Amino acid sequence: MLAMLQSVLGGGIRAGTPILYATLGEVISERAGVVNLGVEGGILVGACAGFITTAHTQNPMLGIAAAALAGGLAGLVHAFMVVTLRSNQIASGLALMFLCLGVTSFVGRPYVAVKINAVPQASVPGLSRLPLVGTVLFTHDVLVYGAYLLAPLIWLLLFHTKWGLALRAVGERPAVAYASGLPTSLIQYGAVVSGGVLSGIAGAHLSLAYARSWVEGMSNGRGFIAVALVIFATWHPLRSVVGAVVFGAVFALQLQIQARGVALSPYFLDMTPYLLTLVGLLLMGRARRHAMPEGLRAVFEGVT
Amino acid sequence: MAVEAPSDGDHVYLRLEGITKSFPGVVANCGINLDVGRGEIHAVLGENGAGKSTLMKVLYGFWQPDAGTISVDGKRLDLRSPSDAIRAGIGMVFQSFMLIPAFSVAENIALTLPGSGVLLSVSAIRARLREFGSRYGLSVDADAKVWQLSVGEQQRVEIVKLLVSGARVLILDEPTSVLAPHEVTKLFEILQTLRRDGYTILFVTHKLNEVMAIADRITVLRKGGVVGTLPRARATLPDLADMLLGERELRAGSFERRDHEPGGRAVLELHDLSVRSDRGRTGLARVSLRVCAGEIVGVAGVTGNGQTELGEAILGLRRPAGGRVVLDGVDVTRRSTAAILAQGVACIPEDPLRMGVAPGLTIAENMVLDERARYMPFGGLLTDWRAIRREIELRVENFGIAIPRLSVPVGTLSGGNVQRLLLLRALARKPRLLVAFYPTRGLDIAATRMAQELLMVSRNGGAATLLISEDLDELFALSDRLVVLSRGAVAGSFRPGEVETVDVGLLMTGAAKRHEWQASPASSIPGS
Amino acid sequence: MASVARLVDSRVLIPLRLLGLTALAFVAVGAFLLLFGRNPIEAYGVIFKGAFGSGYGLSEVVVRAIPLMLCAVATAIPARMGLLNVGGEGQLHGGAMAATWGALTLGALPRGALLPGLVILGLLGGAAAAFVPAFLRWAAGVNETISTLLLNYVIVLLVEYMVRGPWKDPMSYNWPFTPEFPESARLSFYWGTRIHAGLWFALVAITLFYLALRRTRWGYEIRVIGDNPDAAARAGIPLGRYVLLTMCIGGALAGLAGMAEVCAIQSRLRPGISTGFGYTGFLVSWLALHHPLGIVVMALLLGVLSVGGDMVQISLGLPYATVNIIMALIFFVVLGGRFRKSRSG
């Protein structure tokens, strides 16, 4: 029982890492007033670019860098469509997702069965020997630590620096931000590209650490879950951690239940993350709407 | 009246000379001269449309004047943008505040401060807030979120923002229009303390009593030009009202009026209607009134005193916090908009383009919006568009609206034409109750006359009309009874013959108390 | 200068602009292919020859276009009032499941009774799948794009479960599919091709969509909501009711596509009955700017690309994803080309 708990929690933290990166990235983007449904695509290009780079260089760190770059490029496209061309945010995000799906399927085909040097596990010396907590918290790879350290860092940046203030102002009332002399378009570009970079890193963890392989479409909706999680976490970086871990735990639980041969269809288990997200959105209802950056209201609440 | 020089001792700090600014079709400012001294509170008085906002926006660098100069402390300024104005020490508080509601006061102020390192130093801002707060009575809780603040407190934040950025000339555009009376008192105290420290304050308003309470000198604007400038000591309320409104003959006054029996059936009754409004705007406070068949009840008031909420409550678009709306004896307080419209209610909305039409759809399609059930029977499968178009064309022609053809999108029409189409549409189905917001706004004289005639014809035909307008002439000419709406409450009720436009104007601007204007006990009861 | 701009913006030139920008997309993909050392002209040649080179190719284009048309209308109807339904995939599978249930349980009925019954089941299954996100939107303001996207995954997984569990073909060893449908549950083919009665469903649906938009009160009210929701509310149009109505009718049509796929093409339910018809249908609707006639054209165009995608796979060894890239790029250029005032953002 204890072992199972350890596995679920530890696995949860690990499985939640890509979701956390993607969610944090989307928090930044949405706080600046831009919704990016193309996060799903960002994860894919990150996973693919990271995998291919690692396969060729045998260096997973280079892979992570390539993934970040690829994700950033995807974010740049979305920023261009939405900030400069003023296209419909949701449709553009979906278009980006389709494009990334197509491109990565094309480019990644030769790499499907390839094996790579995965991101190495990096146990924290000393701390990893602590009973229970040790294995759960301190025996992961660099990217995992990165994600959970990034969350408070982003919180600090968003709420305690002038940059964060400016970014949030753009997401609340761009007219006021503009009147205060802020370069609103530039800020939005920066936010969306940053979000893209983080979604790319999410993909890197997926293909280089978690699954250690490349499969077409391997993100499997994690990007959309991340977008829903942002709402659920009321656009707050620290609350996103909770959401990501919960979802990771669900993923990990699936594996555990399957491994123990419980007579639950794996397909029902696979449904759980998505159903959970839906239920979460429903329960959240109109209550959390007040926490939404004002600039997003038009995007999310067009009609009724 | 001659323009009087600033009070002795103060040399001129701010001078506007010959400011002229026109927009297509209208001359907003014509040759305006204004001198303001240091440490002076100067009121710029004028009705809506007199050109005060334009003048202030020119001063703030928002617009460039066609002619004229602006000088501060003897130096001529070339203001091409608000940033130039801010640099010159001119700051402006607009009617709609430039604040982010979700941020705290400190964060809002931090936004306007130039780059001061990466980390936010809320404590530094708190210190400055305390400094200005204690000095000028501008204290606000630095950590409170702006949306939690009252409108008066938000305004104080706006003023602090100006002070922090180093403004010496403070322009306040209609600052009291959204304030409660005690907040107005507080604001005046603050302004007086600021004046003591040598700040120059321009106070733009249309409210006579406030001008008398706070200003050192008063400049009256009318129709884009200066009527006169005088020190407060020499001004009296009647004089100011006169300068403000000018000589008024009722425009081509009378209409053929068919009399209705007194005590005719009430089509619309509001009983103690209270409506909460969006943050910061006046709702309705226990409003009661009656409109009978064949009667026009005019609602006079400055926009923003509850008219929007009144219309929304009657139409079922906003749930009242208390009271009842009764149509033809039926309580419709919580009914849907569709149900209320089906009872024979028609509306001409405040913002025709934004609220009344679908700009992408054709004129013909828009004209049937109010009467879908009639024009599109059997789910619309048997709609005879040709007949509909012919009917609309005839009506439009009779009303004298020139449109190329009915198949153009409504978005391509001028605002005035949209206004007139909406009037036609509302009256076409012979409503039992017509709620008309500013029905002649933006129309020229001929079109206005035609619209007003249509309203009278509708009235004579038995329709009950609630006419909401800022145009006193129109209200006096058309209404059978007049109600004044101020700060969400009925400030007075009478027949047009019983009072002068000036009196109503004063009531509208909160200058006079209700009881001063009741001619007789009988007429003081709404709807007698 | 202004008059030129007005001309360029005029409605007449919209199809031309679309065409021009689509060509741009092809050029972009051509460059992409060059990057990978493939000959774009060759690839395009194969794609178009695949579609137009033979009678069979042409008929396959139509076969592909059928579910695309239905799923496109599933997106178009809510889109006309400003809702973004990306749930075509899930709604299609919902209809497929409902029809499968009917085929497997009511298979004894004569064809004349069974087929109409299956049509109704397909419609109901799709509508049910769409009802959940519609209800969430109406009652709790949950954004329908996100909820339909999530639900897609759920419903497809449900199909995976059903074909391996309760509906598994007992005689199929371990293959995940249902027993073959009885003859009475199968839609017939026409003219020696694989074109099936689903074509009539699609054409009827599009025609009804067109007529409803232009000639009925409901279409009118939906258009008003899409143009100015505020004015619509003030005119007493019930917005909430239309949220439910448009989503459910759209879902029903996507469900019909699912029914047609299992009853005509597949003759049974299995994973993979849809190669992204729901998402491609969403694309078709957007490329057609949600207009019924444009949907027919765009569905055929994407059908050509789909058949071409198979061909490049077979003849040139290029992945099918090549045509997905083309489709996505066309979507981008249409979005960026500012063909209508953007609703949000």
pLDDT on residue A73: 97
The secondary structure of B26-81 as a DSSP string is EEEEEEEEEEEETT-EEEEE--TTSSHHHHHHHHTTSS--SEEEEEETTEEE---S
Interface test with B, best of C223, C227, C343 (most B CBs within 10 A): C227
Question: What chain A residue is nearest to C318 in terms of C-alpha separation?
Answer: A106
pLDDT on residue B260: 56
Mean local confidence (pLDDT), C287-311: 91
Is residue A223 over pLDDT 90?
Answer: yes
Domains recognised in chain A with CATH numbers? 2-115+136-300 (1.10.3470)
Low-confidence ranges of chain B (pLDDT < 70): 1-10, 114-117, 180, 246-264, 278-282, 509-528
Q: Which of B356, B358, B379 sits opposite C217 (nearest CB)?
A: B379
* B311 part of contact set with chain C, CB < 8 Å: no
Cα separation, B159 vs B173, in Å, equals 12
Residues in chain B: 528
Mean local confidence (pLDDT), C281-303: 93
The residue type of C84 is L
Residues in chain A: 304
Q: How far is B343 from chain C (nearest CA, A)?
A: 12
Query: What CATH number should be reported for the domain holding residue C114?
Result: 1.10.3470
Mean local confidence (pLDDT), C25-42: 87
Residues in chain C: 345
What are the sequence ranges of the domains in chain B?
A: 12-245, 266-524
Inspect the interface and report whether the beta carbons of C234 and B356 lie closer than 8 Å: yes
pLDDT on residue C284: 94
Tokens of C169: 């073909």
- Residue corresponding to tokens 């555009």: B173
Q: Which of C218, C224, C236 sits opposite B337 (nearest CB)?
A: C236
Q: How far is A284 from chain C (nearest CA, A)?
A: 8
- Residue corresponding to tokens 């499997």: A220
| Residues of chain C above pLDDT 70, percent | 94
Could you tell me if B264 and B292 are in contact, meaning their C-beta atoms sit under 8 angstroms apart? yes
Inspect the interface and report whether the beta carbons of A294 and B102 lie closer than 8 Å: yes
Q: Which residues in chain C touch residue A267, judged by CB atoms under 8 angstroms apart?
A: 157-158, 160-161, 164
- Residue A235: how many CB atoms within 10 A of its CB? 22
Q: How far is A135 from chain C (nearest CA, A)?
A: 33
Neighbours of A, requiring at least 3 CB pairs below 8 Å, are B, C
Which is higher by pLDDT, C155 or C181?
C155
Question: What chain C residue is nearest to B362 in terms of C-alpha separation?
Answer: C224
C163-202 burial: b if 16+ Cβ within 10 Å, else e: bbeebbbeeeeeebbbbebbebbbbeeeeeebbbbbbebb
Q: How far is B120 from chain A (nearest CA, A)?
A: 5
Cα separation, B428 vs B422, in Å, equals 10
Q: Which of C141, C325, C332 sits opposite A103 (nearest CB)?
A: C325
Q: Which residues in chain A touch residue C84, judged by CB atoms under 8 angstroms apart?
A: 90-91
ipTM surpasses cut 0.90:
no
Residues 6+ apart with CB under 8 A from C4: none
pLDDT on residue A170: 96
Question: What chain A residue is nearest to C225 in terms of C-alpha separation?
Answer: A303
CATH homologous superfamily of domain B12-245? Answer: P-loop containing nucleotide triphosphate hydrolases (3.40.50.300)
Phi, psi (rounded to 5 degrees) for C189 = -100, 160
Q: Which residues in chain B touch residue C230, judged by CB atoms under 8 angstroms apart?
A: 354-355
Q: Which of A162, A163, A169 sits opposite B100 (nearest CB)?
A: A169
Could you tell me if C249 and C77 are in contact, meaning their C-beta atoms sit under 8 angstroms apart? yes
Which is higher by pLDDT, C198 or A256?
C198
Reference B225, options B512, B21, B60; nearest CA is: B21
pLDDT on residue B346: 94
Alpha helices in A173-292 (DSSP H): 174-179, 184-205, 222-232, 237-259, 266-284
Q: How far is B443 from chain A (nearest CA, A)?
A: 31
DSSP-assigned beta bridge partners for residue B231: B217
CATH architecture label of B266-524? 3-Layer(aba) Sandwich (3.40)
Question: What chain B residue is nearest to A175 in terms of C-alpha separation?
Answer: B98
Q: Is B325 helix (H, G, I), strand (E, B) or coil?
A: strand
* B127 part of contact set with chain C, CB < 8 Å: no
Q: Is the dihedral of CA B382, B387, B392, B395 positive or negative?
A: negative
Is residue C344 over pLDDT 50?
Answer: no
Could you tell me if C231 and B355 are in contact, meaning their C-beta atoms sit under 8 angstroms apart? yes
Q: Which residues in chain B touch residue A289, judged by CB atoms under 8 angstroms apart?
A: none
Alpha helices in chain A (DSSP H): 2-31, 39-57, 60-79, 89-108, 133-138, 142-160, 162-172, 174-179, 184-205, 222-232, 237-259, 266-284, 297-300
| Residues of chain A above pLDDT 90, percent | 54
**Interface of chain C against chain B, CB under 8 Å?**
215-221, 223-224, 227-228, 230-238
Range of the domain at C303: 67-336
Q: What is the count of structural domains for chain C?
A: 1
Domains B12-245 and B266-524 share a fold: yes
Cα separation, C61 vs C73, in Å, equals 18
Q: Which of C86, C141, C158 sits opposite A94 (nearest CB)?
A: C86
Question: What chain B residue is nearest to C226 in terms of C-alpha separation?
Answer: B358
pLDDT on residue B494: 86
Reference B246, options B229, B234, B228; nearest CA is: B228
- Using CB atoms within 10 A of its CB, is residue C17 exposed (0-12), middle (13-18) or buried (19+)? middle
Q: Which residues in chain C touch residue A281, judged by CB atoms under 8 angstroms apart?
A: 136, 140, 142, 146-147
pLDDT on residue B9: 44
Span C82-109, pLDDT tens digits: 999 999 999 999 999 999 999 999 888 8
Q: Which of A82, A95, A284 sits opposite C328 (nearest CB)?
A: A95
Inspect the interface and report whether the beta carbons of A265 and C165 lie closer than 8 Å: yes
- Mean pLDDT of chain A, nearest integer: 89
Span B238-294, pLDDT tens digits: 788 778 776 554 444 566 666 655 556 789 999 999 988 765 556 888 999 999 998
Reference B371, options B402, B349, B399, B392; nearest CA is: B392
Span B381-396, pLDDT tens digits: 777 888 888 888 888 8
What pTM does this model have? Answer: 0.85
Interface test with A, best of B86, B109, B111, B123 (most A CBs within 10 A): B111
In-domain check, residue C24: no
Span A164-211, pLDDT tens digits: 999 999 999 998 888 887 889 999 999 999 999 999 999 999 999 988
Between A15-29, A209-223, B4-18, C239-253, the lowest mean confidence (pLDDT) is in B4-18
Instruction: Give the Å distances, CA to CA, from A267 to A32, A263, A272, B415.
Output: 37, 11, 9, 59
In-domain check, residue C265: yes
Is residue C123 over pLDDT 80?
Answer: yes
